[in-house]
């Protein structure tokens, strides 16, 4: 595996970095940010030059924004929007990092939407996000130029799939942009649902989804529940 996963079960300080409750607490707290020295200790202690994926942290937003601007130019989300998305659903916002350097990221939300056709309809993700939603929607993903084709993008999507599986959600859904992207997501098990002409900035998007397989045991349980 190219990217090492940070283990939730590890003892001590790593738990502060990786525990979802802590990240949510950070945002609910007026202070909003974890002190920088804490952040550096945590990153260096646990990464030690290795490339790894982990939940995003508020201090990562500037670096994430830089990657986003390099790709999306004038269509890039601004820093406040990215912060808002992290605050909204930190469990679905991951980065690939090497110590303090951010190499890529993926952001997502939960909802039950199936019938949208343009980005304008959905772009206020914090309004549409529904913690009880059955669909995990991938808002955006990018890997910094110079670090692509190393498996990081695939790894980020696999992390979201794992999250959706753990939570027993129905599917992971996204709109693929033009070019190789439909093929990229097909390789990761996604199927095309339909084309979305003029989805965003004049391009046709492809709505795709990865259905979460429900285990036989879970089906039996729900049968017994009836
Ligand atoms: C899409 C993106 C995140 C992929 O990240 P990545 O880390 O390079 O992806 P991976 O290394 O996991 O690629 C996996 C496979 O996807 C395909 N793929 C990836 N980039 C490709 C490219 N530029 N051209 C053709 N196929 C490509 C290949 O099959 C690749 O496997 P291979 O390298 O063994 O041939 C990255 O290209 C990116 O940041 N693009 C700009 C932003 C963007 O388009 N985001 C998606 C919005 S829907």
Test site for ligand 1: of 151, 176, 184, most ligand atoms within 8 A of the Cβ: 184
Q: Check residue 216 and give its pLDDT.
A: 61
Domains for the chain: give ranges and CATH numbers.
Answer: 4-225 (3.40.630.30)
The per-residue pLDDT for range 164-205, each reduced to its tens digit, is 999 999 999 999 999 999 999 999 999 999 999 999 888 899
DSSP E strand stretches across the chain: 4-5, 51-55, 94-98, 101-111, 135-143, 171-176, 191-200, 203-211
Q: Residue 67: its pLDDT value, please?
A: 98
What local confidence, expressed as pLDDT, does residue 97 receive? 85
Q: What is the pLDDT of residue 93?
A: 94
Please identify which residue in the block is written with the tokens 């910094």.
Answer: 144
Ligand 1 atom 9, closest CA: 153
- What span, in angstroms and rounded, lies between the C-alpha atoms of 107 and 90? 9
What is the number of the ligand 1 atom nearest to the C-alpha of 177?
48
From the CA of 180, how far away is ligand 1's center (Å)?
8
Ligand 1 pocket, residue 3 CB under 6 Å: no
Give me ligand 1 centre to Cα 31, in Å: 37
Please tell me the total number of residues recorded for the chain in this structure: 226
Q: Report the nearest atom of ligand 1 relative to the CA of 154.
A: 12
- Collect the ranges in the chain with pLDDT lower than 50: 1-34, 37-38, 40-41, 43-44, 221-226
Give the DSSP per-residue string, 128-142.
Answer: H--TT-SEEEEEEEE
200 lines ligand 1 (CB under 6 A): no
The ligand 1 atom nearest the CA atom of 174: 48
Does the beta carbon of 180 lie inside 6 Å of ligand 1?
yes
Asked if residue 100 lies in contact with residue 48, where contact means CB atoms within 8 angstroms, the answer is no
pTM above 0.85, yes or no: no
Calculate how far, in angstroms, residue 155's C-alpha sits from the geometric centre of ligand 1: 11
What pLDDT is attached to residue 224? 45
Q: 95 and 142 in contact (C-beta within 8 Å)?
A: no
CA of 62 to the centre of ligand 1 (A): 23
**pLDDT value, residue 46:** 52
d(CA 100, CA 140): 21
Task: For residues 155 and 2, give the distance between their C-alpha atoms in angstroms, rounded to a whole number.
Answer: 8
CA 173 – CA 186 distance, rounded (Å)? 12
């Amino acid at each position: 595996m190219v990217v090492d996963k940070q283990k939730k079960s590890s003892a001590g300080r790593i738990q502060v970095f990786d525990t979802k409750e802590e990240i949510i607490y950070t945002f609910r707290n007026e202070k909003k940010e974890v002190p920088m020295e804490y952040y550096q200790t945590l990153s260096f202690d646990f990464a030690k030059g290795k490339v790894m994926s982990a939940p995003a942290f508020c201090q990562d937003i500037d670096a994430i924004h830089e990657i986003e601007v390099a790709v999306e130019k004038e269509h890039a989300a601004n820093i406040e929007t990215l912060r808002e998305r992290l605050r909204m659903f930190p469990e679905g916002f991951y980065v690939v990092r090497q110590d303090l350097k951010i190499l890529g990221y993926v952001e997502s939300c939960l909802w039950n939407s199936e019938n949208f056709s343009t980005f304008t309809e959905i772009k206020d993700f914090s309004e549409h996000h529904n913690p009880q939603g059955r669909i995990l929607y991938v808002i955006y993903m990018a890997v910094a130029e110079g670090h692509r084709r190393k498996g990081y993008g695939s790894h980020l999507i696999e992390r979201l799939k794992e999250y959706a599986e753990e939570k027993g959600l129905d599917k992971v859904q996204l709109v693929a942009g033009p070019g190789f992207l439909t093929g990229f997501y097909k390789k990761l098990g996604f199927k095309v649902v339909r084309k979305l002409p003029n989805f965003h900035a004049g391009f046709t998007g492809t709505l795709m989804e990865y259905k979460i397989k429900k285990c036989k045991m879970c089906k039996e349980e729900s049968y017994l529940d009836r």
